[in-house]
Structure 1
């Protein structure tokens, strides 16, 4: 006869209880002489973890907590030892896990999640992309964007060059629709939505000094985002990353919940940076096809760097974009290759 502690359901009340096993039965005996019998199949047995006390949930009574013994462990687990316990008990498995677990997590976030997101994004129907884009643009128009202050002639001139670029790079499977907006809050920027809508702010056009070659380079970058389905991929990657981080670390204390927020941001930003590099390289590889040069892209980045100045974070892992200087060097090196 062994002794454990029984915690009753629905409260903090507990009592000591003697217990033993007889074949398939677990028999509890209270101090007042009352006995309770339950079949092994009726018990919810928590996995063995090192030398911690065993926990057996008895559905209509409560939780029995008792010290581990080899004989009782064998009865509970119906084996000479669980796989988890065996691995935890052997130094070689502990040492191997120190190496393999970080590699597994790295492989998950660096390769498996992006791979899964790429293929999942391909199956998002066009009507969903269109609806998401319309709602996003409507929300931005309401909160941050206003009508473009460029003259109709300026818009027509820029749009004419854009249409020629779009025609030359064979985007038949894409529906590219360039729009102009003004936004002091967003500032110099261009962004692409899932359905192929690309928005240029007046501020980025002014920053580029209305230089059509630089604007064309930026357009190709945004087309790269549409071509590679980055918006939908980002949604999938963010969702999977949050689920994975919660799965691996979600049972830890709430004291480090803030860390999870940072961790999720870092992971998502790493995906975003990868998308930016992919869009950059799409633009660089197509510039020569439209009578433009990678140097045009480098110059556009140089102008963008003038407004970033010292505000660009040295901690690139906290940024959603690659370091601007690295992007300029990438464009310049691409020029040298050509």
Structure 2
């Protein structure tokens, strides 16, 4: 296992370097720079504009700027945000808690729905319950989050007046905060529940027909014991790895959801950074997301090999 982890870490580091280079070079090729609006001001002397560009290293070659950014990032210095003029690390980490609350709550709801529904759908294959669950599952992962977000706002905010559709970070109290996070969490949960439900169902169908399940029934065990202790226990092994792999995807879905509901999280910070050419913020968030994907992929591999003795690290 030790050799496997070392090999995976090395491969992951190479992957992260390649991802950071691609993202950085794409941002460098984008039109404009952080001083484009400031530099067009006729009241600013040309000497001052040039001195600022030299201090910020804007005119340096792209490889030089990338090497400088990578060195500072490893040292914990993520740079200064061009828009807020504050430390990019403090800015991003300050927005992280609200995103984790929304994403974590959404993924928890998704798991609580997908696991039992997927298992029951497999046990009652082609029944009315299975057909209804399959229909909602396809709707869940087919509809884009921006559409479901707007639909939820029209139904639950405009028509029914149940939940606020704009997040207010000044609200105090547990219930008022939970109330304004329900719709964003449901939008994200709907998107991930569909795919997870289908995967649980498919994994369960592969198991219920196995010999050891029929043997358990032949021994006279109760059907619930057969399904939970024998079928579901083995069927959920690949599901655990999918849960780990899908977690970063839910974080990625928060980018659109936070824009719809005006949530001041890292998703909205990323969109704002892209629109305003805030390279330090965009690099911090996008590279952090890449690290998250790599880490969860390693966790998924370890979990799969640990839970399934047939899989060897070698």
Smaller-chain TM-score range? 0.3 to 0.5
| TM-score, reference length from structure 2 | 0.33
Q: Normalising by the residue count of structure 1, what TM-score does the alignment of the two structures yield?
A: 0.31
Higher RCO by CA contacts (8 Å cutoff, separation 6 or greater): 2
Task: Answer 1 or 2: which has greater strand percent.
Answer: 1
Higher Rg of the two aligned structures: 1
